[in-house]
Chains A and B, each alone.
Chain A
Amino acid sequence: MGDTMPVRDTIKRWLVLPSHISEREREYLNRLNRVGLAFFALHVPVFVCIAWLNGTGPLSAFFLTVGVLLGPAMAYARFENPRAVARIYGMAAMLMGGLLVHVGQGPVQIEMHFYFFALLAMLAVYGNPSVILTAAATVTAHHLVLWWLLPSSVFNYDAPLWVVLVHAAFVVLESIATVYVARSFFDNVIGLEIIVRERTAQLDQRNGQMRRVLDHVQEGLLTIDADGVVSPEVSRSVARLFGPLTSGTSFADLLERADPRAAFAFSNGYEQAVSGVLPIDVAIDQLPTEVKVDDRVLSLDYVPLASSDQEPVLEGMLIVTTDVTDERERMRLEREQTEVVRVFDHIAQDRAGFVEFFREASQLVKGITSDATGCVGTLKRDLHTLKGNAMLFDLASVFEWCHAMEDRLANEGVRPTADERNELAAVWTRLSDEVTVILGDRTDNLEVEPSAFEALLSAALRPAPSHVVAGMIADLKLEPTRVRLQRIAEQARGIARRLGKGEIEVRINDGDVRLDPRRWRAFWSSFVHVIRNSVDHGLESSEERVEAGKDGPGCVTIGTHLDGDRFIVRVEDDGRGVNWQRVRERAQTLGLDVSTQALVQEALFSDGVSTAGMLSEFSGRGIGMGALRDACQRLDGTIEIRSRVPHGTTVDFIFPSQIATVQPHELLEAA
C-alpha cells in the first residue's frame, strides 16, 4: 500500500493539470481553439467531397459533419474555460475521425483509421492529458457502439471483437505516449509562466530571508564588481557606516568621502588586482585595512571573488566593514592602564631613574611638539632617543607614535603634522598627570644614603674645614655612576630579552665616580643607543656564538673611571666586532669621505650609516649613534672605537676630567 499511493499520486499529478490557468495559457488555448474550430469547419466540404467521390451520400455527410461541428462551435461560443473547450474538441476530433471512416467506406476504409491516430497526435498540442483521454474514450466508445450497431461504418469486412480490441490497443498505446508528450509540453512550454512564478516565489522567499540577515547584521556587507561598483544588495549597516548609497557608486567613492588617501590606496590596489599585474593576494594586501569615517574607526576585510581557473581572474570582491571604534577605545584604555601600571612599577623599582627619564623625555616631547620647522636631523635624533627611552620604560603609546613618525620621516620626508604633534602632547600630558599623582611633589627631593649622612655629621662635629664640608654637601647632589650603570645594565638585559637573545651577562665597573646628574642627563639619555647597538648588532645569537667557539652567553661590560686627566665611560662587548668594510661601503653610498680609518670611524656616527643588516624596532637606521656623538661633543668628549673581529668591540667616551667633577660653588650657582 505504501508504494501504490505515491504511484497513484504521480499518475494523478501527470494527468491532472494545476487548476489555475495563467494568462499566457488562456491566451494560447483561445488561439488554438479558434484555429481548431476553423480546422473542424474545413471537414464539412472535405467530407462532402469524399462522400461524393466515394458514393457514400454527400448530403448525409454534410449533415453529419455539421452536426459534429456544432459541438465544438457551441463549446467555443459558450464555455469560459478554454480547457473545457479543448476537451470537447478532443471528443469532436474523434467523431470527425469516425465520420471519415464512415464516408470512406470501401477498399480504403481501414486506411481511413489512420486519421484517428493523426488526430490523437495533433491533440498533444493542447498540452492537456485530459483532452487526450477524452478523445481516447470517445474513439473507444465509437468503435464498440458502431461495431455492434453498424459494423459497416467501421470495418469493410466482418471484423471479430479481437480486431476491435487490436484497434483499441493501438489507441491506448498512442494515448499513453501522447499524454506524456502533452504533459511535458505543458510543464516546459505552456506552463512556463507557472514555473517562473513558483521559482520567483521561492527566490522572493529566499531574498526575504537574505534581506532579514542583511538588515540585522552589524557588519557592513557589500560586493563590488570588477569596476569597483557597489552592487545594490548591501547590508543596512553600509548606509549607517558610510552614508547613503546611490546606484553606480564605487567603493572608492564611499571611501573618498571620508579619507581620500584610503580611497586612492583602494582604487590603485584594486585596479592592480583586477588587471592581474600583481597576484590577487599581493594586490589585496595593499588595500587599506582601516578607515576613519567621521569619528568612527572602521576595519575593512576583503574576500576576493575570483574565477576558479588555474590563473584566477578577480571578478569582484566581498567587502566586510566592521565598526571597531569601541574596541579600539577599549584597547586604548587598556593600554593606558597598562602604561600607568608599568610607570608605577618603574617608579617603585628605581624612582630616581624614572624621574630622570621623565624629565629628559619631557624636554624631548616639548622640542618635538613645539618645533614644526626646525632642523630635520635634530628632529630625527629627538624622535629616535625618545622612542628608545620610551620603549625601555614601557610607554608603548609614545614608542609607537615615535616609531610611526620616524618611519614616515625617513621614508617620505614628511614631518609630524600639527594634529599628530597635538596627539603626542595629549599623550604626554596624560602621562605627566599620572606621574604627578604617583610621585606627588617629591621629584626634586634629595635622597641621602645613611653612610653619607654619618660622614657629613662627623665632619661637622670634628669640625672639618668648611671647604671640606662644602665639598661633602656638594657630593650629596651628585649621582654615583653605579646607580646609573645598574639602571643601564637592567635596560641592556631587557633589550636582549626582547630581541630573543636570551639572558646576557652585564658587568658593571663604576670606579666610585659621582657625576652631576643635570649636566650628564642628555648624555645618559642618548647612551641607550650604544647599549642597543652592542646588544642588537654586537652580540651574536646563541647559535652563532656556538659556531664561533664562544662559551656562554654574550657579555657587555659598562664602566666609568678616571684616568689621569681623563674621565672615561666605556662599553665593551664580546660580540662579533664591527664590520668596517660594510661601514665603509655604506658611507661611500652616502657620499662620505672614507679615505682613512679615522674617517670610517667618524662615518659610523653619521645619520644613515648603520652596521645593521635589517631594521628592527631597536636599531638599524644609523641615527642613534649620531645623537650620542652630539651629546658627547657637548661635554667636550670624544669617542674611540676599538674592534677585533670576531672578539668584540670597545667604545670609549673620553672627557676631560674637570667635566666630571663639580665645585660646590657651581652647584650653588646652578641652584
Chain B
Amino acid sequence: MAKILIVDDSATIRLQLRGCLQPAGHELVEAENGAIGLQKARFADFDFIIMDVNMPVMNGLEMLENLRLLDGHRTTPVFVLTTESSKEMVARGKRSGATAWIVKPFKSEVLLKGIDFVLARQAA
C-alpha cells in the first residue's frame, strides 16, 4: 500500500480523504497548506500526493511547481482536487505537472480506483 500526502486546508476534506484511504490500507500524512505540504515532501518520500488548489500561505499550484524541483518528487503522481469552475487553475496545473484532476465533490471508490490505476502504471 502507498504512502500518501494529503494537502488540504479543509479539515472536512481531509477527514473525508482519511475515511476513504485509510480503510484501503494507505499510510497517510496530512498538511494544512502548500507550505507545510512542501516541507513534509522535502524530508520524506511519498508514493502519491493529493492536493487542494485554494489554500492559505501557499496554494496547491505553487506547491506543485516547487515540488517538481525536488529530486525525490519529480515524477511523484499528484492528484489535484478541483472545483468545476477553476479552469485557469487546471491549465496552470497541467503545466506544473499534475497527473490528474479530481472534481469535488468526489466519490471515495472513484478516487481509490484512480489512485490504484496511477500507482499500478507507475510501478509497471
Contact = CB atoms under 8 A, between A and B. Distances in A.
Whether A and B are associated in the same complex: the answer reads yes
Interface of A: 260-262, 264-265, 268-269, 272, 277-279, 281-282, 285-286, 288, 407, 410-413, 586, 589-590, 608-610, 612-615, 620-622
A373 B97 CA distance: 37
14 contacts: A264-B90, A265-B103, A268-B101, A278-B114, A278-B117, A279-B113, A282-B113, A285-B107, A286-B102, A410-B10, A411-B13, A590-B11, A612-B15, A615-B12
Interface in B74-116: 82-85, 87, 90, 99-107, 110, 113-114
A285 B110 contact: yes
A410 B84 contact: no
Contacts of B19: 613-615
Given A613-B19, A615-B12, A413 B113 contact: no
Contacts of B12: 407, 410-411, 608, 615, 621
A97 B114 CA distance: 80
B16 interface: yes
Contact of A407 (B30, B32, B105, B107): B105
Given A613-B19, A615-B19, A411 B11 contact: no
Interface pairs A-B: 6 shortest CB-CB:
A608-B11, A614-B19, A261-B84, A410-B12, A265-B84, A282-B114
Contacts of A615: 12, 15-16, 19
B59 to A, nearest CB: 13
**Residue among B30, B85, B114 having the largest count of chain A Cβ atoms under 10 Å:** B114
Interface of B: 10-16, 18-19, 30, 32, 54, 82-85, 87, 90, 99-107, 110, 113-114, 117-118
A261 B117 contact: no
Contacts of A277: 99-100, 118
A434 B59 CA distance: 48
**Residue among A264, A282, A609 having the largest count of chain B Cβ atoms under 10 Å:** A282
Contact of A412 (B83, B102, B107): B83
A269 B10 contact: no
Contacts of A286: 102-103, 106, 110
A278 B13 CA distance: 21
A155 B92 CA distance: 95
Contacts of A622: 11
B25 to A, nearest CB: 15
Contacts of B114: 278-279, 282
A590 B10 CA distance: 10
A264 B87 contact: yes
Contacts of A613: 18-19
A527 to B, nearest CB: 23
Nearest to A586: B11
Contacts, number: 78
Contacts of B83: 412
A81 to B, nearest CB: 68
Nearest to B120: A279
Contacts of A407: 12, 105
Contacts of A411: 10, 12-13, 104-105
Contacts of B102: 286
Given A407-B12, A614-B15, 19 more contacts: A261-B84, A264-B85, A264-B87, A265-B84, A268-B82, A268-B101, A277-B99, A278-B117, A286-B103, A286-B106, A410-B12, A411-B10, A411-B104, A413-B54, A589-B30, A610-B15, A615-B19, A621-B12, A621-B15
A589 B6 CA distance: 13
Nearest to B32: A589
B101 to A, nearest CB: 6
A429 B84 CA distance: 31
Nearest to A414: B83
Nearest to A620: B15
**Residue among A268, A279, A620 having the largest count of chain B Cβ atoms under 10 Å:** A268
A261 B83 CA distance: 9
A614 B22 CA distance: 11
A285 B85 CA distance: 17
A278 B77 CA distance: 12
**Residue among A288, A589, A609 having the largest count of chain B Cβ atoms under 10 Å:** A589
B98 to A, nearest CB: 9
A269 B54 CA distance: 20
Nearest to A279: B117
Nearest to B79: A278
A278 B121 CA distance: 10
Given A286-B106, A615-B12, A615-B16, A264 B99 contact: no
Nearest to A285: B110
B110 to A, nearest CB: 5
B89 to A, nearest CB: 10
Contacts of B11: 586, 589-590, 608-609, 622
A544 to B, nearest CB: 16
Nearest to B103: A286
B92 to A, nearest CB: 13
A614 B18 CA distance: 8
Contacts of B107: 285
B85 A278 contact: no
A612 B10 CA distance: 15
Contacts of A608: 11-12
A414 to B, nearest CB: 8
A272 B90 CA distance: 12
Contacts of B100: 272, 277-278
Contact of A272 (B87, B101, B106, B110): B101
B84 to A, nearest CB: 4
Contacts of B85: 260-261, 264
Nearest to B101: A268
Contacts of A281: 113
Contacts of A282: 110, 113-114, 117
Given A262-B84, A264-B87, A612-B15, A412 B104 contact: yes
Nearest to A272: B100
Nearest to B110: A285
Contacts of A590: 11, 32
